[in-house]
Structure 1
Amino acid sequence: MRNLYRSERREQRRQDRLQRRLERRRNGGSAAGQLVVGLGVIAIGMLFLLDNLGIIEFEYAFQLWPVIFVLAGALKVQQATSNSGRVAGGILIAVGALLLLKGMGFIDISWRTLAPVLMIAAGLLVVFKSTRARNDTVSSLLDKDAGQDSVVRLTALMGGIERRINTQDFRGGEITAIMGGCELDLRQASIQGQAVLNVFAMWGGIEIKVPDDWTVSLEGTPLLGAFSEKTIAPRDNAKRLIIRGVALMGGCDVRN
């Protein structure tokens, strides 16, 4: 009995450490994302200012447009809570770096070669997503009583995804839409207190439908994009969904 008690105590402490680690990542994710976006906007503004002052030529500054991909990838890696999300961010960074090196003349690669490379990268992301391990930081917080849909992970890459969740213990997750769209229907689901959903939309759209008794808190960062919250706030704030993330030339719409 004593050994069983010690084992349960160790497991409880491990779960508490994982919970605190996830909360730190959630609480710091929005601020860090806004910091990266702000620095990126400042850098772009400085380039245009230097061009207007005649210090650099606009044509040279325009060659730096792939930095957008690098910035988007860095934001995705920073906010990702799963391995597939980090891989998606890494692919965006790699694509941006290749385009940047090509535009600046450091490498000589044609679009006929680059296009298949992008297709291979997209395929690798799909394969990795389908075979990813289930025991990452978020899923490790699920106990035996939690359903399979308690944590959702959706990735739409040049396509569309529609998902309906009916779990009564929704705990959040991660949604990524890159040149595609995701629709998540949570109207039949429920929350035990609070849940955090991380979103990332780049040249794509995300639509989230929530029940009438949920309070929605948007903490997103739009960059040439938009976050839209069209819900009617309930009288009781017992169930709260916090949505954090980035909309880069894309959008996220929440409604009930």
Structure 2
Amino acid sequence: MRTRRERNPATQMVIGLFVIGLGMLFLLDNLGWLDLDLRVHILPTILIGAGILKVLQTRTQSGIVIGGVLIAGGSLIMLKELGWIDIGWRTLWPLLLIGAGVAVVVKSMANRSALEQPHAGPLDKPDADVVLNYTAIMGGFKHRITTQDFRGGEITAIMGGCELDLRQASINGEAVLNVFVLCGGIGIKVPVDWTVVFDGTPIMGGFDEKTVPPTGPGSGKRLIVRGYVIMGGMEVRN
């Protein structure tokens, strides 16, 4: 059986420091010690914080690129609104789109490299459904998984959505699924003999579990969902 990995304490520290810093900014602004336009500064602050969390959470190159794009985009918007750089929105938005495209290209190259290993013949290439690596940016996808050795993976939804149907799949022990939702949503359907454990953090978002607890002898099949739901939603049901 796969052993359960503990959550990265560095990530929890970043969340705590980010919340403390954001609370201090609100307090100083309310006391009149700072003059912040929260309508202007809140968006880049959220993007930078989300990018840092994504970089700390991910285990893939494309995830690091996505986190870097969020950090860079938030930083550029912040510097623009502070008047430290002179860049127009007509220039800024294309740069953000280029960054998103780079993330897609890096992911595609990583997947292609995994499928074209020199030692992998036609019969022993890895099944893409065993370990997932899905990214939805301003879009969405639906996918049905039927592998009998599901091991988890990583799903990122940024202003987009993902619907995953695992009802015909199976787990040998435990599987860990890392999720990252920013202004988007993820819906997952699981078999009735799976136990779902949510080990994540909703931040101005929500996680809704609507699964039926397994009856009879336990099957030992557990899906551990980890990650962050930021201003979005996630639902797991049978």
Q: TM-score range by the shorter chain?
A: 0.7 to 0.9
Aligned partner (choices 198, 201, 204) of residue 181 of structure 2: 201
Residue segments in structure 1 that go unaligned for 5+ positions in a row: 1-18, 136-143
Partner amino acid, structure 2, of 1:27 = E
Task: After TM superposition, give the deviation of residue 80 of structure 1 in Å.
Answer: 0.5
SS of the aligned residue for 1:213 comes to: coil
Give the Cα separation in 2 of the matches to 1:71 and 1:225: 15
Describe the shift of the 1:179–1:49 C-alpha distance in structure 2 as closer, same or farther (beyond 3 A).
Answer: same
Change (3 A) 1:207 1:61: closer
1:39 to 1:237, Cα distance in 2 relative to 1, 3 A: farther
Residue 125 (structure 1) aligned with residue 103 (structure 2): yes
Partner SS, residue 58 of structure 1: coil
Q: How far is the alpha carbon of 1:160 from its aligned partner?
A: 0.5
Greater fraction helix: 1
CA RMSD across the alignment? 2.2
Q: Which amino acid aligns with 1:150?
A: V
Matches within 5 A, 1:73-152: 73-133=51-111, 134-135=113-114, 147-152=127-132
Q: Which residue in 1 is equivalent to 2:142?
A: 162
Q: 1:61, CA displacement in angstroms? A: 8.8
CA distance in 1, matches of 2:133, 2:182: 16
Residues of 2 paired with 1:145 and 1:178: CA distance?
Answer: 30
Match of 1:139 in 2: none
Contact 1:33/1:221 (8 A) holds in 2: no
Q: Deviations over 1:37-84 (max 9, x none)?
A: 232222111111111222111337953541211110111111111111
Aligned length: 226
Structure 2: how far apart are the matches of 1:219 and 1:237? 20
Distance 1:145 1:226, change over 3 A: same
Whether 1:245 and 2:227 are equivalent positions in the alignment is yes
Instruction: Work out which of the residue numbers 189, 194, 204 in structure 2 matches 1:214.
Output: 194
Q: 2:121 matched to which residue of 1?
A: none
**Unaligned 5+ runs, structure 2:** 115-123
Partner deviation per Cα, 1:143-187 (whole Å, 9 max, x = no partner): x59643110111001100111110100011000000000111110
More divergent stretch after superposition (47-56 vs 210-219) = 47-56
Q: Secondary structure at the match of 2:200?
A: strand
Q: Percent of aligned positions with the same letter in both sequences?
A: 57
Q: Provide TM-score, normalisation by structure 1.
A: 0.82
The alpha carbon displacement at 1:111 in A equals 0.4
TM-score (ref. length: structure 2)? 0.88
CA distance in structure 2 between the partners assigned to 1:149 and 1:251 by the alignment: 23
- The runs of 4+ residues in structure 1 deviating greater than 6 Å are none
From the superposition, tell whether residues 145 and 106 of structure 1 become closer, same or farther in structure 2 (CA, over 3 Å): closer
Aligned residue type for 1:174: E
